[in-house]
Amino acid sequence: MTPHPPFRLSRRGALLGLAGAVAFGRNALAVGAAPTEQRLVVVILRGALDGLAAVPAYGEAALAGLRGELAGPGPGAEGGLLDLGGFFGLHPALAGLHGMYQAGEAAIVHAVAGSWRNRSHFEAQDYMEFGAEARLGSGWLNRVAGALAAPMARGGSELALAVGSLMPVLLRGPAPVGNWLPQSFQTP
């Protein structure tokens, strides 16, 4: 069986696809307002992805013994990890993210935790999104959007956009935040 070449999507192809979906489909396009082309995209996978599978520390001698087949092959091997500097690697399914990392357009922030230590993964996740060691009235990204909105005087436009059915903790708060749920997300 011959392996398929990796799927590559250019910026032009993505824009054409999005424009076609909006023009001919029952879709909408949502873009955060900002006086710049730069965007910060934060992806939160609440319990949906094992960090040791996405960004394993293949340079750790004990990894293969502890994870067995889950450790996967290292960089350079067929289907191996994509090197992130000699110790960590990125899962081969994340090749697009690896390209962005190499271009300095993405950062991998792995195994980050606050100073709190409790047994609740959910509480720790909330604290990470609040950006504090306590429950606050707003998430850290909502506070950033609020701080950026005042100097920009954008007429109340939203500087942040949540994609999904629920507003994540990091975007909750007084700053106006858009919320978009694509039609295809409504039925699991």
Q: What mean pLDDT is predicted for residues 57-66?
A: 92
Q: What mean pLDDT is predicted for residues 2-14?
A: 47
Q: Name the range with the highest mean pLDDT among 39-53, 71-85, 147-161.
A: 71-85
Percentage of the chain beyond pLDDT 90 is 28
Statement: residue 156 has pLDDT above 60: no
Q: What mean pLDDT is predicted for residues 96-124?
A: 80
Tell me which of 9-18, 82-91, 165-174 is least confident.
Answer: 9-18
Residue bearing the bigger pLDDT, 168 or 115: 168
R_g over Cα of the chain:
20
157-177 pLDDT per residue, tens? 677 888 888 889 999 999 988
Measured CA to CA, the distance from residue 119 to residue 131 in angstroms comes to: 18
Among left, alpha and beta (phi > 0; psi -120 to 50; other), residue 185 is alpha
Domain ranges for the chain: 44-112, 115-188
> What residues does 177 pair with on adjacent strands?
160
Residue bearing the bigger pLDDT, 108 or 36: 108
Question: pTM for the full model?
Answer: 0.59
Supply the pLDDT for residue 103. Answer: 92
